[in-house]
Amino acid sequence: GENVEQHPSTLSVQEGDSAVIKCTYSDSASNYFPWYKQELGKRPQLIIDIRSNVGEKKDQRIAVTLNKTAKHFSLHITETQPEDSAVYFCAASILDTGGFKTIFGAGTRLFVKA
Amino acid sequence: NAGVTQTPKFQVLKTGQSMTLQCAQDMNHEYMSWYRQDPGMGLRLIHYSVGAGITDQGEVPNGYNVSRSTTEDFPLRLLSAAPSQTSVYFCASSYSGDRAPIYYEQYFGPGTRLTVT
């Protein structure tokens, strides 16, 4: 089955710096890759996603890149702000007979120091 | 639209007890899933469903049953609670789209915090 690995587990940056989180997946059939942000005690919220037929997507300060050949994808946050501090999860999804199956990475705790 | 709702918010069970976690959505989403999140960990898929009457096992299905009799509801049943099932449980739903395969955002419920003593 699908396995998603995420690195680093913890990331600390200065306000204004960039943050990069990397993920790899194992199932080449996965073709949808969402990223979620989770604040303490809250539910995960989608921040950006990318489909397998796209190599890069950007939304203001957030961008995601996908390398299907290498089976890895990355989240880039530029000009980080203290409110970006949270846990970020990558995920890989596939549509199969049972439904929409999404496997998550273990998460990256991002600290943005003011 | 209430979105995805889950009940109860908190629950304490004794080892061996059974209970059902409720999940409902009012967005007419076909896809629904259950996840568990242990402290400091990611979300692990328990069971998922493509529509009424169709479910499948995820990464960690042992000790849990699901059924999907309607599009709106997707309850998760703990058969005989164990301390290892202490976790936060999230239900999520997603639109299926008019043309498959196509992917849409998963909407998560607020979660149920379960403690098994």
Note the pLDDT tens digit of each residue in A18-61: 999 999 999 998 989 999 999 999 999 999 999 888 889 999 99
Instruction: Say if strands B4-7 and B10-13 run parallel, antiparallel, or are unpaired.
Output: unpaired
Chain B residue numbers touching A46 (CB-CB < 8 A): 105-106
Cis peptide leading into residue B8 (ω within 30°): yes
State the virtual CA torsion across B20, B41, B4, B55 in degrees, nearest 10: -60
DSSP structural state of residue A16? T
Residues 6 or more apart whose CB falls under 8 angstroms from that of B11 comprise: B19, B21, B112, B113, B114, B115
Query: Which residue, among B25, B43, B67, would best test binding to A if mutated, counting the most A CBs under 10 Å from its CB?
Result: B43
Query: Do A91 and A100 meet the contact criterion of CB atoms below 8 Å apart?
Result: no
pLDDT on residue A53: 82
Q: How many CB atoms lie within 10 A of CB A82?
A: 10
Pairwise CA distance, residues B63 & B79, whole Å? 6
Note the pLDDT tens digit of each residue in B9-61.
999 999 999 999 999 999 988 899 999 999 888 899 999 998 889 999 999 99
- Chain mean pLDDT for chain A: 94
Question: Alpha helix (H) ranges present in B1-117?
Answer: none
Query: Do A63 and A11 meet the contact criterion of CB atoms below 8 Å apart?
Result: no
Is the pLDDT reported for residue B99 higher than 60? no
- For A105, the closest of B32, B42, B103 (CB atoms) is B42
Identify the band that residue B112 occupies on the pLDDT scale cut at 50, 70 and 90.
very high
Query: Do A74 and A20 meet the contact criterion of CB atoms below 8 Å apart?
Result: yes
Classify burial at B19, counting beta carbons within 10 Å of its beta carbon; exposed 0-12, middle 13-18, buried 19 or more: middle
Identify the band that residue A101 occupies on the pLDDT scale cut at 50, 70 and 90.
confident
In chain B, positions 31-50, which contact chain A (CB-CB < 8 Å)? 31-33, 35, 41-45, 48-50
> Residue B87 forms beta bridges with which residues?
B114
Note whether A90 contacts B: Cβ–Cβ < 8 A: no
Chain B residue numbers touching A27 (CB-CB < 8 A): none
Residue of A nearest to B105 (CA): A46
| Rg, C-alpha atoms of chain B | 14
Q: Within chain B, what is the greatest distance between any pair of CA atoms?
A: 46
